[in-house]
Amino acid sequence: MNRKLLLISNSTMAGEAYLAWPQKYIQDFLDAENVKKVTFVPYAGVGLSEESLEASYDVYTDRVSEVFSKLGIEIVSVHNSKDPVKLIQESEAVAVGGGNTFHLVSEMQKTGIMDTIKERSSNGMPYMGWSAGSNVACPSLMTTNDMPIIEPPSFNCMGIIPFQINPHYLDANPEGHGGETRQQRIEEFLVVNRKMKVLGLREASMLYIDNDTMKLLGSRDARLFEFGKEPVEYKFGSDLSFLL
């Protein structure tokens, strides 16, 4: 499979500007593929405007455009296209933003762009996503952290990678919270989906995938979960190609 993927855990670190921390990685990724225009998928951006979903998509697209314009990259959003499938078919690259994964998956399936992005990104088109945008590269949305605010036609996602990501992975609950830890939630998933692997991708980390090689980039370690096994920590900079 000819894949060029950048799967980012989170867009913003506390106290930093939007997409500030991964900006260098994004620029290197796009420059390496000589990309000048990126098609943006804003469907995870719910509630950014009180007017309507369309207005929220406008706000989200403007926010992303402001960052990418500094890199010399033009942003075009699928929500402004009368034929989003055709737009994806003709795109140099695609970026899928974070937000609510359930709403993102629902809209990607209803518009038909999920299958088109899968086909193109499995055949060399550069793809990047952060948070929910990383989730949809997995086989399903089942390891998202988000509330199911809408019921998509299916939980199935693109499966460009054969394992699940849990973005924003936390090792423990916040002080005073007595509910399940993130690890416990992932272990529940693995009881039901015993053949699947789940990578807990901490904030300030990402996966860079080039064909059949994959590296953990950023400044945080990642934690790999498999059914019946103790979780394993992998240092940033590790080669994780074995997961592909």
Instruction: Please give the average pLDDT of every successive group of 10 residues along the chain, which has 244 residues.
Output: 95 94 97 96 96 96 97 97 97 98 98 98 97 98 98 98 97 76 96 98 98 97 98 98 98
- Options 121, 131, 134, 140, the catalytic residue: 131
Catalytic residue among 49, 65, 81, 168: 168
What are the distances in angstroms from CA 56 to CA 37, 63, 79? Answer: 22, 11, 11
Compute φ and ψ for 208, nearest 5 degrees.
Answer: -110, 120
Distance CA 112, CA 233 (A): 37
pLDDT score, position 205: 98
pLDDT for 1 equals: 79
Separation CA 50–CA 73 (nearest Å): 29
Q: How many domains does the chain have?
A: 1
Q: Is 31 a catalytic residue?
A: no
SS3 of 44-109: the string is: CCCCCCCCCHHHHHHHHHHHHHHHHHCCCCEEEEHHHCCCHHHHHHCCCCEEECCCCHHHHHHHHH
Block residue for tokens 């990501």? 165
Q: Cα Rg for the chain, rounded, in angstroms?
A: 17
Residue 95's nearest CA partner among 167, 22, 7, 10 is 7
Catalytic residue check, 81: no
Specify the CATH number for the domain of residue 26. Answer: 3.40.50.880
- The answer to whether the pTM exceeds 0.75 is yes
Find the helix packing angle between 113-121 and 101-111, rounded to 10°.
90
Whole-number pLDDT of residue 176: 75
β-bridge pairing 205-210 and 232-234: unpaired
The whole domain housing 174 covers 4-243
Q: Is 131 a catalytic residue?
A: yes
- pLDDT at position 21: 96
- Assess contact for 149 and 46: CB atoms under 8 A: yes
| Catalytic residue selected from 9, 91, 140, 146 | 146
Which residues are within 8 A (CB) of 241 and not within 5 positions of it... i.e. 6 or more apart?
A: 212, 213, 214
Residue 18 pLDDT: 96
